[in-house]
Copies of this chain bind each other. A is one copy, B any other.
C-alpha cells in the first residue's frame, strides 16, 4: 500500500513474543522513526533493548498523552496478549476513566469486533492504526517456493481444495488454517490457534486415523476473506515448521503478501533442514 508518511514517529504498542522487535527493526530499517511502547505484563523482556515506554492496561490516558507529546499520528498494535484485559477490575488513570464507557462497550462484542472497536477508539482521536504488513512488508511471505522441496502435484491439488475450504470456513468466521490430505479436511482451526491445530494432526497420526507411509497432506494458511490484517495478520514461524514436520505433513502453503513469517531466516532454514516446503500461493 502506498501511503503518505506522517511527520511524527510510528508508535509500536508491543504485546508478547519476538514479533514486536522484528517489526520495530523492520520499520527502522525502512527509515521510519519508531516510538516503542511495551504493554506491562505482556511485552517480552528482550524488548527492553529498545528502551520502550512501559504502560499498563489502565494507563490509556497516559498513552494518549504520550502519543500527543511525540506527535505520533500512526501506531501499530503487535504481539500476543495472553489475556483479555479486564478493565472493570482495574482503577485507571483519568484518561482511561473518561474513555471507560466506550472501552467497556467495545469489550462486549465478539473477539474480532473488540480489536476493531479498540482501533476505532484510536482513530476517533486522530491516530491512524496501521498493520505490521504496512510498516514491515519485508516480513511477509513472497510468492512461489520459499524453502524446502518443490510441492508435488498431489500437494498442489490439496492446496486447491484447501483454498476452497478456507473460503467456506470464512463464512463461519473460522480460519486461518487447515490441514488437508487429498480431499479430506484433517483439522480445521477455530479458536485454538494454528499450533494447537497442527499438534492435533500429530495426535491423529498416533491414533492411526491418518495412514500413509511417510509425510502426506499439507497445511494451508491464509487470511480470512475480508479479514482486516491490522486486527489479525496470519503468522508462521519456526514452531509452525516444527509442528508441520512432527505431524508428517509435506509442507505449508501460505498466502503470499498476507501471511507474516516470524524469524524469517530461521524459519526458512529450519524448513530446508526438515525437508518441509514453504510455498507462497
Contact = CB atoms under 8 A, between A and B. Distances in A.
A4 interface: no
Give chain A's interface secondary structure class: loop
Contacts of A169: 172
A187 B174 CA distance: 9
Contacts of A192: 187, 200, 203-204, 209
Contact of A185 (B84, B183, B187, B190): B190
Contacts of A183: 110, 173
A111 B174 CA distance: 24
A83 B204 CA distance: 12
A266 to B, nearest CB: 25
Nearest to A165: B172
> How many chain copies does the complex carry?
2
Interface residues of A, number: 31
A167 to B, nearest CB: 10
Contacts of A168: 168, 171-172
B184 A191 contact: yes
Which of A172, A185, A210, A211 has the most CB atoms of chain B within a 10 A radius of its CB?
Answer: A172
A44 to B, nearest CB: 18
Contacts of A203: 192, 196
A168 B178 CA distance: 16
Nearest to A84: B211
Interface in A151-202: 165, 168-169, 171-174, 178, 182-188, 190-192, 196, 200
A184 B188 contact: no
A210 B191 contact: yes
A198 to B, nearest CB: 12
A45 B173 CA distance: 45
A185 B191 contact: yes
A209 B188 contact: no
A214 interface: no
A186 B190 contact: yes
Contact of A110 (B111, B184, B200, B208): B184
A190 B187 contact: yes
27 contacts: A82-B208, A83-B211, A84-B211, A110-B182, A110-B183, A111-B184, A165-B172, A168-B171, A169-B172, A172-B185, A173-B184, A173-B185, A174-B185, A174-B188, A184-B191, A186-B191, A187-B190, A187-B191, A187-B192, A188-B188, A188-B190, A192-B200, A192-B203, A192-B209, A196-B200, A196-B203, A200-B200
Given A185-B190, A200-B200, 11 more contacts: A82-B208, A83-B208, A84-B208, A110-B183, A110-B184, A169-B172, A172-B185, A173-B185, A192-B203, A192-B209, A196-B203
